[in-house]
Structure formats: structure tokens, C-alpha cells
């Protein structure tokens, strides 16, 4: 079974631009979560989607948004990029809606200049 895939793997953007990151979960998994990883803040939860519905959201500004499609693929969008948004953005998928095993993708490394 293929793992979680994320595209693109690396991205360089300029402050003020917007960016869209994509995540394809493991086949059959309907839950997708997004996390931001930075050296200073560690791993922080952004949001979780299950069956195209956002079920939970972390403490991030409204510039961070996401969505999930009927095939469980998910995208997250960051508008008006700030230097502090430079991070590794990780997507994780799970087969179950309740707390349980999550499988992470390799992440998208976003650099904002």
C-alpha cells in the first residue's frame, strides 16, 4: 500500500504570496490531519478533516485554511505569507475517526523569503 504523499516537497515563496499544499492519504483512509513543524514551536496541530468535514482546528490564524475532497485528498492553503510561516508542513492520515494510529507523509518544506 502506498504511503501518504505530499506535493510539492519543497517550496520557496515570497512574503505576501499565498500557497497551496496537497496531501494524498493512504488508500482507504478518510481522516487527514495537518501539522506545522518548526524548530522553535515543535509539532503543532493545524486542522483535521474527516469525510470532507473539518472536525477540529488548532490555534492558527485564519490565513491557514484547508479542505478535503470526496476522494479524501486534502489541500491546505496559507494566504498572505509571513516569514514565520517557514516550516515543514506535515500531513497525516488515519483509517478511523477517533484517536488512533496516524501515518505521516514526508512533509512539504516551505520557505518564505
Partner 1 sequence: QQQVKQSPQSLIVQKGGISIINCAYENTAFDYFPWYQQFPGKGPALLIAIRPDVSEKKEGRFTISFNKSAKQFSLHIMDSQPGDSATYFCAASMGGYQKVTFGTGTKLQVIP
From the CB of residue 19, how many other CB atoms can be counted at a distance below 10 Å?
18
Q: Is 90 in the site for partner 1 (CB under 8 A)?
A: yes
Q: Is 8 in the site for partner 1 (CB under 8 A)?
A: no
**Which of 2, 42, 53, 62: binder of partner 1 (CB under 8 A)?**
42
The strand ranges marked E within 25-86 are 31-38, 42-50, 53-57, 64-68, 74-78
Q: Is 53 in the site for partner 1 (CB under 8 A)?
A: no
Run of H or E residues at 112: strand 108-112
Report the distance separating Cα 66 and Cα 84, nearest Å.
19
**Which of 8, 16, 84, 106: binder of partner 1 (CB under 8 A)?**
106
Q: Is 74 in the site for partner 1 (CB under 8 A)?
A: no
From the CB of residue 56, how many other CB atoms can be counted at a distance below 10 Å?
11
Nearer to partner 1, 14 or 99 (CB): 99
Nearer to partner 1, 15 or 55 (CB): 55
Report the distance separating Cα 8 and Cα 21, nearest Å.
7
Residues in contact with partner 1 by the rule CB under 8 A: 4, 31, 33, 35, 42-45, 48, 50, 55-56, 58, 90, 92, 94, 97-107
Amino acid at each position: 500500500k502506498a504511503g501518504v504523499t505530499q506535493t510539492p516537497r519543497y517550496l520557496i515563496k515570497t512574503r505576501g504570496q499565498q500557497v497551496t499544499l496537497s496531501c494524498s492519504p493512504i488508500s482507504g483512509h478518510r481522516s487527514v490531519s495537518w501539522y506545522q513543524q518548526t524548530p522553535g514551536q515543535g509539532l503543532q496541530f493545524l486542522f483535521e478533516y474527516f469525510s470532507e468535514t473539518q472536525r477540529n482546528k488548532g490555534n492558527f490564524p485564519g490565513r491557514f485554511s484547508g479542505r478535503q475532497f470526496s476522494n479524501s485528498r486534502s489541500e491546505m492553503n496559507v494566504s498572505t505569507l509571513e516569514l514565520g510561516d517557514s516550516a515543514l508542513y506535515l500531513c497525516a492520515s488515519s483509517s478511523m475517526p477517533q484517536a488512533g494510529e496516524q501515518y505521516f507523509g514526508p512533509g512539504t518544506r516551505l520557505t518564505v523569503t
